Amino acid sequence: MNRLSRLTLLLGALLLSACDVRENMPSQQAGILARGELRVGTLYHPLYYFLRKQGEDGLDYELARQFAEQLGVRLTMVPAYHLNELFNLLDEGKVDMLAAGLVNSPLRRQHYRFGPSYYEVAQTLVYRKGQPRPTELSQVTGEIRVLAGSSQAEWLHRLAPEHPELHWETRRDADAEELLRQVAEGDTDFALVEDTLLARTQRYYPNIAAAFTLSEPLPVAWVLKQQADDSLYSSMLDFFDARQDDGTLARLNEKYFGHIQDFDYVDTRTFLRRTEDRLPRYRPLFKRHAGKLDWRLLAAVSYQESHWDPQARSYTGVRGMMMLTEDTAALLGVENRLDPEQSIEGGARYLNQLKARLPDSIPEDERIWFALAAYNMGLGHVLDVRRLTRQRGQDPNSWTEVKENLVLLHQPKWYRQTRHGYARGREALHYVNNIRQYYHSLQWLIGPQTDPAINTVRSEPPAASLPPSEI
């Protein structure tokens, strides 16, 4: 046998050996199952992952928890503080995947694999009211701030050749909400963020607004390493297909985005002022009487009802901090509706009762929206609109689908089919949305109510090198 033949045989043997090794290596999912743990990298953020008194919460956390349950393993969230640290966690094998509202962008796709999209965002340029509003990039003359490693920074780099006049600064020492604060306080001219974040943040920075959007809606998805092993990716595809079919994605979308509506500058300014000059004197009462409710939610209901005015009166004769009718007050044993403590205690008890009387089939995290609608227009009307929702082939346990049908209670064709007749359903819809907005603002203003007993997993300090997504 000549030298070339021997070399060919040797190379062939090495290739076969390598194939055998690959075939014998456990898949990524098999490794997770053997470990009994799914490790998910995330960012501390009120949308993705945060801690509250009851435990961990957030859109990405809820989905990741369900995914871990599908795999039959426990979930460990590994929170990072900024994007380059987050991608380092995946690059170094310290987590199995990332779940943190990450945009599926062209540059990131060169280095990572993305799962199915579960919502979309648009890149939005934010400016401070009172300053000139640009309507296109050629009119932007000030500084734009973006997060280092973000899809927004990637977008600006891609636009730079066509717009050499653009000036921007990438920041590693902040999150997107901090950038919006800097715009609101005049520390920078503009920030480039996602539209969903702006909508959630305007409630406490009312002097910022969208100048224009730079992109069509972009998909947000979970992130995996790029590798030949498809095991975890395939399970992820099955998971999102199932969550789409069973309505989970729609319910979570409603929970985290359903209350975002047209921004009212005057109302927000009034609300923020009254959180300073009125709320402090009533805060102890809300905390004392909230029962199983978050006291900030109870305070949001009271603000919607009376703007925290104990003497408030409506044209229909309801009175006080929680705007109780005479009949409801009598039923609750409230003797003086104008006494703040009696009104708050009675209103809290009534709301808790309404929530308890709802059908058990309504998911726990949506029951409060049905209860709030009942507080506004009566439990009977809420049950009526649930029946109409079922009659139309929709899910009567989904607030997303039920709220679409509230307007039917204005229409004779529909309310004639109900037990309790006409109701101002559109008003109830606005009522619930307003309370959700005030509640969201109070959650931010008051701060997270974390439980020291909750253990969180922190990653090791990040390596000096930046992930490929870093700009």
CATH number of 440's domain: 1.10.530.10
The predicted structure's pLDDT at residue 57 = 83
273 and 372 both lie in a single domain = yes
What CATH number does residue 156 fall under?
3.40.190.10
| Predicted confidence (pLDDT) per residue in 257-272, tens digit | 876 666 666 677 788 8
Q: End of a domain among 181, 215, 249? A: 215
pLDDT score for 465: 29
Q: What is the percent of the chain where pLDDT is above 90? A: 53
Does some domain include residue 168?
yes
In a domain, 456, yes or no: no
Phi and psi at 306, nearest 5°, equal -135, 0
Residues 300 and 418 in one domain: yes
Q: Are 328 and 439 members of one domain?
A: yes
Do 423 and 306 belong together in one domain? yes
* Locus of tokens 């972009």: 218
- 48 with 182, same domain: the answer is no
- Whether 73 and 134 map to the same domain: the answer is no
- The partner residues of 114 in beta bridges, in order of sequence, read 223
329: three-class secondary structure by DSSP: helix
Are 18 and 11 contacting, i.e. CB atoms less than 8 angstroms apart? no
Q: In this structure, are 336 and 422 located in the same domain?
A: yes
The answer to the question of residue 409 being in a domain is yes
For residues 29 and 235, give the distance between their C-alpha atoms in angstroms, rounded to a whole number.
9
- Residue 196 and residue 112 share a domain: no
Tell me if 461 is assigned to some domain: no
Length of the chain: 471
In a domain, 204, yes or no: yes
- For the chain, how many structural domains are there in total? 3
pTM higher than 0.75? no
Q: Are residues 225 and 200 in the same domain?
A: no
Residue 76 is predicted with a pLDDT of 96
Domain hosting residue 155, numbered range: 123-215
Distances (CA, A) of 233 to 105, 109, 116, 421, 431: 18, 15, 10, 51, 42
Whether residues 173 and 244 share a domain: the answer is no
Q: Tokens in use for 109?
A: 């796709």
Last residue of a domain, one of 257, 284, 312: 257
Residues of the chain with pLDDT under 50: 4, 7, 9-10, 14, 17-22, 449-471
Residues 294 and 347 in one domain: yes
- Supply the pLDDT for residue 30: 94
Provide the H-helix boundaries in 307-424.
326-332, 340-357, 364-377, 379-391, 399-404, 412-415
165 and 244 together in one domain: no
Question: So what's the pLDDT on residue 52?
Answer: 66
Q: Which of 85, 154, 194, 305 is catalytic?
A: 305
In a domain, 466, yes or no: no
Q: What is the pLDDT of residue 200?
A: 78
Q: Identify whether 236 is part of a domain.
A: yes
Domain annotation covers residue 463: no
User: Is 305 in the active site?
Assistant: yes
